[in-house]
Amino acid sequence: MTSFLEKWSAKKSDKPKAGKRSAVDTFRARVAEQKIYLAEFESDVAGFNKWRSTWFQRAPGGFGVTIGRDSIDAGKGLNYVVVETTAQVAEFLDDLAGHADNDVSFQKALEDNRLRRAALLNGAKAKTPAKAAARKPATVKATKADPVPGAAAAETPKRGRKPKA
């Protein structure tokens, strides 16, 4: 047992936490995922049913390709293009990945977008318990019931409502 501890103690490390990839790494992974969707589309055009997950959609004249679903652009407001073929979609995705690797301002835009989304998510999480605590439980209005003999009980309302005037 001691040889085991001696051998592996020098390699002891903290586990990486989920979501600790950089915004650029996350974006690269999303671009790779889009390429997989594109390959699936090319292999079975009629049977492809993952349109809700794709950054590319059919558009008049070809395909519209967006840069994710967030409010980011690739500079000078470029966040959507229309291309004619799936090969151009793939080329655009490749160029976009290269842009994410090399363009410092785009990397900053990705990180700013990540921080904005995290703030929105954390704000929503913080509001949810507060809303639940702020809700008051429904109160039931109880009326005092006096014992009434048999025939008189049928004449009185069963609930404690006031008769309409």
Q: What is the mean pLDDT of residues 90-108?
A: 91
Between 150 and 41, name the one with better pLDDT. 41
Residue 133 lies in a domain: no
CB burial class (10 A; 0-12, 13-18, 19+) of residue 68? middle
Residue 118 lies in a domain: yes
CA–CA dist 149, 163 (Å, integer): 21
Residue 159 lies in a domain: no
Query: How many separate domains does the chain show?
Result: 1
Q: Distance from CA of residue 147 to its chain's centroid? A: 59
Q: What is the mean pLDDT of residues 135-146?
A: 57
pTM higher than 0.85, yes or no? no
Q: Which domain holds residue 34?
A: 23-127
Q: What is the mean pLDDT of residues 136-161?
A: 58
Residue 162 lies in a domain: no
Residue 164 lies in a domain: no
Residue 62 lies in a domain: yes
Residue 77 lies in a domain: yes
Q: What is the radius of gyration, based on Cα positions, of the chain?
A: 31
Please say if the pLDDT value at position 153 is more than 70.
Answer: no
> Which region among 27-41, 63-77, 119-133 has the lowest average model confidence (pLDDT)?
119-133
Please say if the pLDDT value at position 50 is more than 80.
Answer: yes
